[in-house]
Every structure is written in structure tokens, then in C-alpha cells.
Structure 1
Amino acid sequence: MRRTFAASLGAVVALAGFAAYMPAGQASTAAASSAPRARVHLVKPGHSIQKAVNKARAGDVIQLMAGRYDGGVLVRKRLTIQGAGNKTVLSPGKKDHCAKADQRGMGICVVGRAKHPVKDVTVKKLSVRGFKETGVFGYYTDKLTVEYVLAMKNGEYGIAEYRSTRGKFAHNRVVHSGEHAGLYIGDIANAHGTVVTGNHASGNAMGLLVRHARNVKVWDNTFVGNCTGIALVDDGQKGGQGNTAIWKNEISKNNRKCKAHAPVPALHGTGILLFGGDHNSIQKNVVKKNRGKLPYSGGIVLNRGVPPQNRPAEHNVVKGNHVRGNKPYDLVDESGSKTNRFHANRCKSSKPRGLC
């Protein structure tokens, strides 16, 4: 399930809409015990991760050595998949097991069902590279943890979760994720505090996209050299987007040029971009030198949501940010609402005047 947005541009920003579409020998080493305990399944380079996953009991650890492995790994039980760092590399192989769950093109896919999420899966200390869709993908998950993962040159997203709660994306590096976002959270009325912290995203269309989701926490990340640093998007669906806290992030020089292609609009030179959304908090971030010539280029930019609802961005707080050197403005409020609060931001230019 991939979700992103489209826009048409006139004298001012006119969003055309948001589109939703589907993305397209190991050894077991465990001490005997009378009580069940986690077993460790050691998988050597070139051997099948999927066989180890199928063999494992809930709670087991799949330990990968440094080397290359086939991706397309489908997980439907509580497990930890752990590598030896960036030299443990998953790349596309001969068989895509994620296709069994209608999630083709993923490196590792964790797939549950409505009202029956897959719980407590951890993916850490490995690389996912060159997948057509997403490096690490969660769908109907609870407490999916992805940490110390290098997601590089994947076609849609680096790391993403849909319809999932209490996720944790921490200390990952997401680079060149193709047409969409390095990190993505979406399609959840209440994410129950999904955490995005300590990540570095560069070379993506968007560093982080939060779309049609609420209750997400984003802090201490670096978004640099993308087309847009962070995008919060109300795509017009019931429930909207909101209640997301963004604080103490560095968001700078997101000046790449991404051409429009369905369903994504052109993106260029924006630090933090809100298309609609309500009750979001943007505080104590460093947002600098994001420079572009699009109607929604600039430092921190608030716009209406998408047609036909065109819901305003309202009741958002923009406070205590260091917003300097952004073009055409440091702060922009074209939200369609007078309920947003701009307070104590260090900036030099705004539209309308007086926000700094």
C-alpha cells in the first residue's frame, strides 16, 4: 500500500489530490531448557532468511552474518531479524516471498491483518538496498521496531508502516529512496505514539511523510538534501492528519528538485510542509537554507489540505524554531485559518508579514 499526493499549481498552490495505491542451510543454536526461551537461528551469507523465519518460533532471533542475502522476506510472527551492521546486505533475489501477502518488491515485509496485527517485530543492524518498492515495510503491525538500518536506493520508500501502531524508527539512515519518502507513516487514525528519532534522511523526495495519521512523535532527526524535509498531509480522508509533534530536528538545504509525476507534485526547497492538518506541534527545530521557487517552497509552510475538502491547516503551533536563510520566506501561513499560533521563532521573513 503506497500513499502519496498530487498537486496542480496556479498563481497559488492548488492541490489536485492525493492518490492511494497498492505497491505493487542455517543452524539453530539454542540451549535446551524446560521453559520456552528465545532461540537464535544463525544464517550464513547466501542462505535463506525465509527458511529461518518459517522455522522459528515466536520470540526467536534470526542472526545474520556480514554478507549478501536475498530479500523479499515475509514475517508474520514475533521475531527479531538482526544483522552485523551495514555489511549485512539484503537485495532482490530470485524469489519474492512478500508476493504471497500481495506486497511485492519489499526487502522485509511484516504483514498482519485488520484487528490482528503482527506484534513486536524488530529489524536492526542491516542494509536493504535496491528493492523496487520499500526496504522495510509494515502493514497492520504493533510495536514494529526498525533501528540501525541503512535503506538505500529503494524505489518508493526506505522504511514505511501503514495501519500500524506504536512503531519505532530509530537511528536509521535512509538514502535515495526514489520517487517518494525516506520514512513514511500513514493510514492510521491513532498511531499511539509511533516514534521517529535519531534518523538521517538525505537524497529523497521527502525525508519524512506523515499522511492521514495522528499521534506521531518526531525528534532529533536530520533531514538534509531532500526535495522536502518533512511533509504532514491531510489527503481529504475522514479523520484527517494531526496531533503530531515535531521538535529538535535539523532540517536544512532540502533543495533537490523533484519533478511532478503522478501522484506526486513537484517538490523543491521546503523544510517543513503542512498540507492541511490540525493540532500539530512544531517546536525548537533548526530549519535553514531551504530554498526553492515553488509556491510552497520555504522554511515552515502551512497550506490547505487537498480538494475537494480543502480543509484548512488549523490549531497548529509553530514555536521557538530557528528558521533562517530560507527562500522565498522563512515562515508561510496560507493555511486558510486564523487558529494557528506562531510564537518566539527566530526568523527574518514571513508571508504574511508579522509572523517572525
Structure 2
Amino acid sequence: MKRVFAASVGTAVAVTGFASMAPASQAADGGRHHVHVVKPGHSIQRAVDHARPGDTILLKAGRYEGGVLVRKRLTIRGEGNRTILRPGRHDHCAKAKAPGMGICVVGTPRHKVHGVTIRNLTVWGFKNTGVYGMHTDRLSVLAVLAKNNGEYGITEFRSTRGRFLWNWTIDNREDAGLYVGDTPDARGTVVAGNHSLGNTLGVLVRHAHHVVVRDNEVAGNCVGIALVDDGQVGGQGHNAVWKNKVVKNNRTCEAHEDVPALGGTGILLIGGEHNTIAKNVVKGNRGALPSSGGIVLLPGEPQRNGHARPARYNLIEDNVALRNAPFDLVDRSGSRTNRFRDNKCRTSDPRHLCRHHH
């Protein structure tokens, strides 16, 4: 969690119907784009390097060496959870200063990588992160299982218009199952329909604006969903957290580096403004830390000048927050501008946040 508090599905070209009688190496898709079939034990990187923009790399069920570097518009598609990438002898991501990743999609500030899709496969046991995006646009990560990675499950840094749908992120140790951050305008990146279980944070949006987190099931993490202003210029805001099921995020994560101890928190706002937290079910998140509780608003991390921005102008509405401890709703935001409306809850600090407003 090097700086958790202090560091897309694009409409990528969909290849319709793989030719069932494809030659071992490739099959044409309408004459222009090709499907490159890779069998277990063979090199995904070699297929990526030989593919042209718009092509598809089809990975058959089996085991493969990860550390795959992608720098052009491709679809990498497995055959489900039985297509498994594990660490191997060759880490091509290290060439892009991103060692320890299962698949890394890496562009530059001036030349983002556009329209990459990663889908229907497993990234398991990488030292850093399962699927990593840096300087991408319309990166799609769909139906990927990211499991037992050292830091994050699936991430996107300094990227726009990402889509992270139907993934399972499980037991990624130091950081978040799903992460979007370091982007002043994510331009509607969507994190939806995922299951995030047993990570430090289920979903983390840090130093980012215009991200939608909806319809996810988040359980058994130290913190379920967190929106964080880490003190960088521009802060965090204009994000939407809707219709998520956030239950029993009661693991305990000890403090390390600049990250405090975490545990027992459903939805956490560390600073941030103009965010909407609505129609979530937040139950049974119980802890005894300053950040513990159902839906918790705290000030941001201090900026370089030493001042922490309050969490302000946020709307917390129509949530069901029950059986959380110490409270269902907590507003220690440092601001009186946050609105709590029509939440179904029983306990709050300060009192009366659970009242209905008509």
C-alpha cells in the first residue's frame, strides 16, 4: 500500500465468433483483424509482439507465464478461470518499469494505449498486481479473477474511460482489489458488477474524479469501498458510489508506511467533494478504529502545506446502513456541507443523521 492514502472498457474491437476451424496460429476476423491462438506453455508475449492493432490473442485453458507487456490495441481473451497466468522466468513488464505484474498495459502521458481488452482469465500470485494499466484510455478488464497478488488485484493509474466489469478480486494482500487513481478526470471510468473479497480495500478510488462504482459485492476486506483525497493538488471528487452491497468488511490490517491501521469499515470517504453515495446496502461492518463504521466521512490527508481538506458537499442518500459499529453513519468530515438524506439506519455520530427528510 505504498501510497494508498498519500497511487477503459472501451469499446474495444469485439471479435465476433472465433472461427472454429482456425489454424493453430491465427484465423481471420473479417479479413482485417486476426485471432492468434496461444496454447498452454507457449509465450503470450510473443503473440502480443507479432499481433497488429485490433487483433485478438486467444488463450486456451491451461497455464501461462505472466509478465505480459501490452502497448497497442489488442484483446487478450482466455477461456475462463482455467486460463491461468502465473509468475515465470521472463517479466516483460519490468521493461516498462512495472515489474511484478501479471499483465501490464503501459502508455506514456503523450501517447496513451487505447482500447485494450483483457477478459476471461486468471492472474494469480504476482508480486505486485494482477492487471495493471498506466496511461491508458478505454482499458477494459472483464470477467478476470485476480487472486493472491502482493499489492493490487486490478488497477488503472493516470487513465481515462476504463471499464472494470464482472471481475473477482480475492486476497490481494497489501492494497485494493480494484483501484482507480491519479487522474484529474477519469471521464466516467466504471467499476461495476465485481466481487471483491479479502483484500485490504475492496475498491479504492484515490486522487481521481468522475469514477462510477456501482453494483459491486464487497465483503471480508478491511475497508469495503474508499474514496480518498491523499493531499495531492486537485483532490478527489465528483465520484458516484451506487447500489453496492458492502457487508462485513471486518478484517484487520495493521498500520504500515503512511497508512493507518484499517478494519471494520463499509464505505469510507477520506476528504473529497461532490461525491454521491446512494442506494448502497452497508451491513455488519464492525470495528473499533477511528475509521470504523458503516459509512464514514473523515478529512483528507494533509497537503504539503500541512492543511487537510475537509470532506465537503457530498450527498449520502437512500442507503441501508444497519448493524455497523461503532455507528451506521459517521460525519467527522470537518465540514457542515455534507447532506445525509433518507438513509435507513439506527445509529450515527453525530446523532440525528438517520432522520428522514421530506
Q: In 2, Cα distance between the equivalents of 1:290 and 1:297?
A: 8
Q: Which one of the candidate residues 197, 205, 222 is aligned to 1:202?
A: 197
What is the rounded CA distance, in whole Å, between the counterparts of 1:155 and 1:264 in structure 2?
16
Q: Structure 2: how far apart are the matches of 1:260 and 1:296?
A: 13
Structure-2 residue corresponding to 1:14: none
TM-score (norm 1): 0.93
1:317–1:220 Cα change, 3 Å: same
Name the structure 1 match of 2:98. 103
Counterpart secondary structure, 1:98: helix
Q: Which residue of structure 1 lines up, in the alignment, with residue 26 of structure 2?
A: 29
Matches within 5 A, 1:200-349: 200-307=195-302, 308-349=306-347
Number of the residue aligned with 2:175: 180
Overall identity of the aligned pairs, in %:
62
Q: What's the Cα RMSD here? A: 1.3
Match status 1:4 vs 2:4: yes
Equivalent pair of 2:3/2:259 in contact (CA under 8 Å): no
Please state how far the C-alpha of 1:69 moved relative to its aligned partner: 0.1
Q: Residue deviations 1:240-299, cap 9 Å, x none? A: 000000110000100001111113221110000011000000000000100000011000
Where structure 2 has 5 or more consecutive residues not aligned to the other structure, the ranges are 8-22
Residue identity in the other structure for 1:347? C
The one-character-per-residue Cα deviations of 1:141-164 (angstroms, maximum 9, x if unpaired) are 000000100000000000000000
In 1, Cα distance between the equivalents of 2:3 and 2:215?
Answer: 25
Cα distance change, pair 80–325 in 1 and its aligned pair in 2 (3 A): same
Q: Residue in 2 aligned with 1:15?
A: none
CA 1:306–1:79: 2 relative to 1, 3 Å: same
Q: 1:220, 1:250 within 8 Å by CA — same for their partners in 2?
A: yes
Query: Within 2, Cα distance between the matches of 1:31 and 1:233?
Result: 45
In the alignment, residue 313 of structure 2 is paired with which amino acid? H
Deviations 1:8-45 (A, max 9, x none): xxxxxxxxxx2x5xxxxx94322497xx6110000000
1:326/1:29 Cα in 2 relative to 1: closer, same or farther (>3 Å)?
same
Query: Are the equivalent residues in 2 in contact too, given 1:28–1:39 (CA < 8 A)?
Result: no
Structure 1 residue ranges (4+ consecutive) displaced by more than 3 angstroms after TM superposition: none
Residue deviations 1:141-191 (CA, integer Å, cap 9, x gap)? 000000100000000000000000000000000000001110000000000
List gaps (5 residues or longer) in structure 1: 6-17, 21-25
The reply to whether residue 63 of structure 1 matches residue 61 of structure 2 is no
Output the CA distance in 1 between the equivalents of 2:221 and 2:289. 15
**Number of paired residues?**
336
Question: What is the CA-CA distance between 1:138 and the residue it aligns to?
Answer: 0.2
Matching residue of 1:12: none
- Structure 2 Cα separation of the partners of residues 302 and 160 of structure 1: 24
Aligned-partner Cα distance in 1 for 2:333–2:258: 22
Contact kept in structure 2, 1:45 and 1:66, CA below 8 Å: yes
Matching residue's letter, 2:342: A
Distance in 2, matches of 1:259 and 1:191, equals 30
CA deviation vs aligned residue, 1:220-253 (integer Å, no higher than 9, x gap): 0000010000111001111100000011000010
Change in CA separation of 1:228 and 1:28 when aligned onto 2, cut-off 3 Å? same
Inter-partner Cα distance in structure 1 for 2:32 and 2:79: 22
Structure 1: distance between partners of 2:307 and 2:29 = 60
Separation (CA, whole Å) in 2 of partners of 1:256 and 1:2? 19
Per-residue deviation, 1:127: 0.0
1:39 counterpart SS class: strand
The residue aligned with 1:88 is 83
Aligned-residue offset at 1:3: 3.5
The counterpart of 1:147, out of the listed 142, 145, 150, is: 142
Find the aligned partners of 1:177 and 1:183 in 2 and give their Cα distance: 10
| Match in the other structure for 2:109 | 114
Residues of 2 paired with 1:139 and 1:56: CA distance? 21
Say whether residues 1:127 and 2:125 are aligned partners.
no
Task: Give 1:2 shift.
Answer: 5.7
Residue 226 of structure 1 aligns with an amino acid whose one-letter code is: N
2-side partners of 1:264 and 1:96: how far apart? 29
Tell me, what secondary structure is at the counterpart of 1:312?
Answer: coil
**Corresponding residue to 2:184 among 181, 189, 195:** 189
Query: Structure 2 length normalisation: TM-score?
Result: 0.92
SS of 1:90's equivalent in the other structure is strand
Cα 1:323–1:226 shift into 2, 3 Å: same
